[in-house]
Amino acid sequence: MRLGIVILNYNSFSDTIKLVEELQQQTVVEDIQIVLVDNESPNNSFKHLKPLEKTFSNVKVLQTGGNLGYAKGNNFGLNYLDKNIKPEYVAILNNDIVLPKNCFEKLIEKYKVLENPAIIAPKQLDIDNNELLPYKINSFLDDCLNLFYIFKLFNKRNALKYKDTSGSKAMKVDLIPGSFMFSSFKTFKQMGFFYPNTFLFVEERFIAVKVKQLNLNNYILLDETYVHAHSKTINTAYNQVGKYKLLYVGWLEFTRVCRSNGKLKAIFLKPLMQFSLLEIRIVETIRQVLRTMF
């Protein structure tokens, strides 16, 4: 198979089934092998997904044996592709996205002409077709400031406007959203797939660091788009405090592993995160009270 696709599922089998059905309309469908990885969903997702193997000859359904999170769950599918399929290209997809029918045909063509590509992706749109801008990696100071509501506006300075920086209608970026990643399988394997010691969030930062170490480039394609129902799955599984706990775990790991003097900075960052979680709990309580009043 020329293209391997990994889709991670957790408690959202209906979205996964819908995406698999839509992928059968891709112009290069005869070259696609789809690997569905169920992260031990407690709602019997695996039972609903397994029949897809009989419906579509290009689908394989796996189950991890536990909720491994984003990175390890996707690595589970990537290792299956490496052992059994060995595709030329690979795509990592969230199950809550919508793609044009010629999406992968276009990505394969563009990957061949870009300079030293690592990960590429179309431009991301929200469900109202508004463009979602790419971001630079936060500095350590950015991470500290963005722990608190009063400073969150500072994060806007890291948003990047779309512009062609390659001469091929593509923009070099550090971060590619985890909802859609496309790469040469050989290159992604050389990167070690996803950094495994995170559960959810921040995986894109580790990829960006690895890409720079290999002297490669990530690109967003300016003439291709996809729609992402942003954080739909996450919002059904975790409340606001739970999501921030997972985010902060990722920030701490990235700080320890990838920043200069990372262990000392992580020691400084950890108590700030505890104060931040307290602030989030207070704000969420106030919001709930206001909702009941009005």
Answer yes or no: do 117 and 174 share one domain: yes
DSSP reduced 3-state for 218: strand
Contact 268, 236 (CB under 8 A): no
- Token pair for 147: 């722990």
Q: Report the pLDDT value the prediction gives residue 150, as an integer from 0 to 100.
A: 79
pLDDT per residue as tens digits for the range 177-196: 999 999 999 999 999 999 99
Q: Which of 200, 216, 233 is the last residue of a domain?
A: 233
What count of other Cβ atoms lies within 10 Å of the Cβ of residue 83? 8
Is the confidence at residue 231, as pLDDT, over 60?
no
Are both 215 and 86 inside the same structural domain?
yes
- DSSP codes of every residue in 133-152: PPBPPPPHHHHHHTTSGGGG
Report the candidate in 13, 9, 12, 34 with the shortest Cα–Cα distance to residue 23: 34
Residues 9-61: tens digit of each pLDDT: 999 999 999 999 999 999 999 999 999 999 999 999 999 999 999 999 999 99
Two structure tokens written together for 73: 């769950």
In angstroms and rounded to an integer, the radius of gyration of the C-alpha atoms of the chain is 19
The CATH number linked to 11 is 3.90.550.10
Choosing from 215, 233, 251, the residue where a domain stops is: 233
Taking the CA atoms of 172, 177, 179 and 183 in sequence, report the sign of the dihedral they define. positive
Measure the CA angle with vertex 153, ends 150 and 155; round to 5°.
Answer: 125
Do 89 and 221 lie in one domain? The reply is: yes
Across 157-177, average pLDDT: 92
Going from the C-alpha of 26 to that of each of 64, 94, 148, 195, 234, the distances in angstroms are 27, 16, 44, 30, 27
Q: Select from 281, 211, 275, 187 the least CA-distant residue to 243.
A: 281
Residues 64 and 87 in one domain: yes
Q: CA 84, CA 78: separation in Å to the nearest integer?
A: 10
pTM for the full predicted model: 0.93
Residue 239: what pLDDT? 84
Tokens for 49, please give them: 């997904």
Domain that holds residue 257: 240-293
Q: What span, in angstroms and rounded, lies between the C-alpha atoms of 228 and 176?
A: 13
| One domain, residues 186 and 265 | no
The kind and range of the H/E element at 275 are: helix 262-293
Kind and range of the H or E run holding 286: helix 262-293
Structure-block tokens of residue 226: 């996809």
What is the pLDDT, as a whole number, of residue 155? 60
Identify the three-state secondary structure at position 128.
coil
Report if residue 63 sits inside a domain.
yes
- pLDDT digit string, tens, across residues 241-293: 999 999 999 999 999 999 999 999 999 999 999 999 999 999 888 888 888 88
* 117-165 tens-digit pLDDT: 999 999 999 999 999 999 999 999 999 999 998 787 666 667 899 999 9
Contact assessment for residue 83 and residue 58, using Cβ atoms and an 8 Å cutoff: no
Distance CA 227, CA 232 (A): 12
Residue 274 located in a structural domain: yes
Name the band, by pLDDT with cuts 50, 70 and 90, for residue 88: very high
Overall number of domains in the chain: 2
